[in-house]
Amino acid sequence: MPIAFHAESGLFHLQTPSMSYMFQSLRGFPAHVYWGRKLSEAAAERLLKRVERASFSPNPVPEDRSISLDTLPQEYPGYGSSDFRNPAYAVQLPNGTTVTELLYVSHEIKAGKPALEGLPAVYDERADEAETLIVRLEDRLSGLKAELSYTVFEAFDAVIRSARIANAGAEAVQLTRALSFSVDLPHDRFELLQLSGSWARERYVHKRALTPGVQAIESRRGSSSHNNNPFFALLAEGATEDHGDVYGFSLVYSGSFAGGVEVDQFHTARAYMGINPFDFSWRLEAGESFQTPEAVLVFSHEGLGTMSRTYHELYRTRLCRGAFREAVRPILVNNWEATYFEFNADKIEAIAKAGSELGIELFVLDDGWFGHRDSDNSSLGDWVVDQKKLPNGLEDLAERVRSHGLEFGLWFEPEMVSPDSDLYRAHPDWVLHVPGRRRSEGRQQLILDLSRADVQDYIVEAVSGILRSAPITYVKWDMNRNMSEIGSALLPPNRQRETAHRYMLGLYAVLERITSAFPNVLFESCSGGGGRFDPGMLYYMPQTWTSDNSDAISRLKIQYGTSIVYPVSAMGAHVSAVPNHQVGRLTPLKTRGDIAMSGNFGYELDLTAFTDEEKEEVKRQVALVKDVRGLVQYGSFYRLLSPFEGNETAWMFVSPDKREALVVHVTVLNEAHAPLGRLKLKGLDPEFRYEWIGTGEIVGGDELMYAGVAKERVRGDYHSVVYRFIAK
């Protein structure tokens, strides 16, 4: 059984193919025992050593002075009764105090993976592929209760954790902290890896050694944000891409979050993550409960690469849903950088016609098709077609595009409203705001209050009406500002700090309704590019626009960093014009295509402006992508060279049967009289003989991995090469 309970010691042992996770009820306290490589069996007393510390670590159990919550490794710690570290939860009781102590009461082990009401979550497809442990805790004095949920899958070295906190007392309490997990590791000899950046520079890889105190990442922006992704990893001493112990922590949530590691006086490390406690509280009336988002904890003893591939497969197959989970994604052209707001039906049709001649499969009409939107200062919220630009409407335009053999897609930004809009003039109270305070604008827009049912209904009806009005098969769902003046006109004063989380619950409800009603539409999420690239959004939309920065060389770091936790099938990657509109760089068209093919491939430029030579290169790119996109989207991904560590970047894809591989290698700046080098591949079968496509050579898998291939001599900057290998 993947989950075992040993009644005599109170030990819970969760097992996956290569991992064990163990904790025990120690005098009622859920105490963490072990997390690492799989153990067949072990005694808790050998793994969890306890000694009496000085009086500055108080003892809650007088008869056993080896127990102090200040030193005990715990599973879901509170604060106030001798643990001075960051707690997983905090509650203010009716008498104003905040001291609680959740102790073990009972547990249940059941088949399958339960869904979380109103929240995105990893799921099972068969009850026998997963098992879930529910541990019930209670503070007998206050009546506060908690259920800790742990799920393990038969195929993944992961533990999925969440908590439900309930008020079984007679009076209301105020929940001020409700993290999804906490876990205490026995030492601090780790590097912390985080994915941080900004708009147009998302998910850069940063590493730092742990030191005493708190090392944290967070978002206070009302979204997971461009700045810090809701993920971090701990790399044990000596861990690399391919070797050593790595622990990953990923939050399935799209709002403000906090996560980090606290190193205490004894150099143990407490890792935690969940909804950001900053400016958060939740009133729990008697009988009510609060469900935290879930977190996915992954262990690898084979380095960062294996951790990433676990996340990739788990998120691709047991988080993403719907018809496009397994289907290859269409090659698209988006008109944004080709036209911005300046277009009409004839210009759109001309781009679609040019795309048809190049083999492109989908045209996406971006911003500017609705209201009177000739710039970004008006019309958000007024989801009616601009008759000046499109006098015959979307249906006519879609049919004109489809007449050239392309499907038709559309951009929306449904969560926003322009002050210059009919919607805002009719419903000024529908936005997030605080009475008497200014309404700060971002990109000249305000945020609709999705905590309100009437706002949710309006968005569902408005978007659904457009999707029913024309043959639309793709939606780009954008969100272009972060929250300020966070307040709701419908919530009472003692619930105002619930607004941001209620917004997320409202957004998830809207997405569930719309994506369920239109199951054959491919939805792509976007937030100024990668400002909400998180597992929560992937549950509703299987791909995300990776970054508004479409420069190929910038994308080396952005896509590489994103791949640390997210599957390639989730990344939108397009070829754009040069000089690039974000950084002004001139990059060869071949290089732009080679880098963009490592994602959901498309173009974001004016196809009608291509030269004959450029058309031939694009035809080559499109043909190659159609040939390899199944491998790219659903093969195993291996990182070979990091753009954060040198002048070269390389990665590769290997089919599940190891019979096919695709390698992308990019050299950023040329070097005069450079040394010769070799690129060692990964993930192949050493016994296979592979045809090196384009050369006619037959090469052993062992040679490709252990000796490698000779790197091409480079001419010019921003040079790329693609290698393909197919087993004979």
| Alpha-carbon gap, residue 463 to 649, rounded angstroms | 41
Residue 348 phi, psi dihedral angles, 5° rounding: -65, -45
Phi, psi of 237 (to 5 degrees): -50, 130
Spatial CA neighbour of 722 closest among 662, 679, 661, 669: 662
Q: At what angle do helices 552-562 and 589-596 cross, to 10 degrees?
A: 10
Identify whether the C-beta of residue 516 lies closer than 8 Å to the C-beta of residue 544.
no
Which residues have a Cβ under 8 Å from the Cβ of 604 and sit 6 or more positions away? 333, 334, 336, 337, 338, 550, 574, 575, 576, 577
Phi, psi angles (nearest 5°) of residue 32:
-75, 135
Residue type, 433: H
Kindly state the DSSP code that residue 292 receives in the 8-state scheme: P
Q: With contact defined as beta carbons under 8 Å apart, do 494 and 514 qualify?
A: no
For residues 504-529, b (16+ Cβ closer than 10 Å) or e, as one string?
Answer: bbbbbebbebbbeebeebbbbbbbbb
What token pair was written down for 685?
Answer: 């079968």
CA distance 630 to 655: 9
Instruction: Produce one character per residue of 197-210: b if its CB has 16 or more CB atoms within 10 Å, e if not.
Output: bebbbbbbbbeeeb
The helix (H) or strand (E) run that includes residue 296 is: strand 295-300
Question: CA 23 to CA 33: how far, in whole Å?
Answer: 5
Q: How many residues does the chain have?
A: 728
DSSP type of residue 293: P
| Tokens read off for 502 | 């209620």
CA–CA dist 345, 333 (Å, integer):
15
Q: Would you name the residues annotated as active-site residues? A: 478, 548
The string over 590-610, giving b where at least 16 C-beta atoms fall within 10 Å of a residue's C-beta and e elsewhere, is bbbbbbbbbbbbbbbbbbeeb
List % helix, strand, coil for the chain (3-state, nearest 5): 20, 35, 45
Computed on alpha carbons and rounded to an integer, the radius of gyration of the chain in Å comes to 27
Q: Which H helix or E strand runs over 600?
A: strand 600-604
String of DSSP letters for 397-439: HHHHHHTTT-EEEEEE-TTEE-SSSHHHHH-GGGB---TTS--
Q: How many CB atoms lie within 10 A of CB 432?
A: 22
Contact 161, 135 (CB under 8 A): no
Judged on CB neighbours under 10 Å (0-12, 13-18, 19+), 5 is: middle
User: Which two structure tokens, joined as six digits, stand for 296?
Assistant: 């996915």
User: Which residues, at least 6 apart from 437, have a Cβ–Cβ distance to it below 8 Å?
Assistant: 485
Q: Is 672 exposed, middle or buried (0-12, 13-18, 19+ CB in 10 A)?
A: exposed
CB atoms within 10 A of CB 703: 15
